Amino acid sequence: MNNIENIQEYIPTVYVNDSEPDLDETNLNKTEQAIKRVTDAANKAIDALKQLDREKLALSAISNVLSDATDKVPSLALANTMQLAINDLNSNLSQKANSSDLTNVSNVAAAANGKVELSGGPIKIIAYSGDGKWAFQQQYNDGKILSLSINDTQIAYDYYDGKTWTNKWTK
């Protein structure tokens, strides 16, 4: 807007029939130049208004609040707030992972006769201990089980096809 200048003051020529001033080159050019200045200034004003409208549309696409609108982008202030919240969550998770919660999980597993089950999707993973033996099993929905067991003297891999256990190898 700073590049728009005021239009030069125009002092109109007053014409009177059958009298001075003459309708000549000087007077006609004065009028033409004034019309050009007004036209140029009007076009600059129109261009400035169009630019403001484009900037208004761009500004309306910036949001300062959380939104799931697909035509909005977060402002820098909102993005910074979100990043601080993510950092805070990560810090809290780190504190949780390093807290006594892991001891509680261990105690629950011991109370359940040393058996821990993790179920999710098509596979269930079971870890248990007993009689000096550790075993890790993957159980599939179709009844098949893969088992890796460890004791004081050997490691074994066994397979259950849904009917029969088969020892695949022992070391």
**Residue 139 pLDDT grade (very low, low, confident, very high; cuts 50, 70, 90):** confident
Alpha carbon of residue 85 to chain centroid: 13
Q: Between 73 and 162, whose confidence is greater?
A: 162
Whether the pTM exceeds 0.85: the reply is no
Q: Between 136 and 164, whose confidence is greater?
A: 164
> Looking at 19-23, 91-95, 158-162, which range is the least confident one?
91-95
**pLDDT tens, 26-50?**
888 988 999 998 998 889 889 888 8
Q: CA 81, CA 72: separation in Å to the nearest integer?
A: 17
Instruction: Give me the pLDDT at residue 148, please.
Output: 85
Q: CA 85, CA 88: separation in Å to the nearest integer?
A: 5
Q: What is the 3-state secondary structure (H, E, C) of the chain?
A: CCCCCCCCCCCCCCCCCCCCCCCCHHHHHHHHHHHHHHHHHHHHHHHHHHHHHHHHHHHHCEECCCCCCCCCEECHHHHHHHHHHHHHHHHHHHHHHCCCHHHHHHHHHHHCCCEEEEEECCEEEEEEEECCEEEEEEEECCCCEEEEEECCCCEEEEEECCCCEEEEEEC
Mean pLDDT value across the chain: 78
Percent of the chain with pLDDT over 90: 5
**pLDDT tens, 151-164?**
888 888 888 998 99
Tell me the pairing of strands 62-63 and 73-74: parallel
Instruction: Give me the pLDDT at residue 141, please.
Output: 80
Domain chopping of the chain, boundaries: 1-60, 114-170
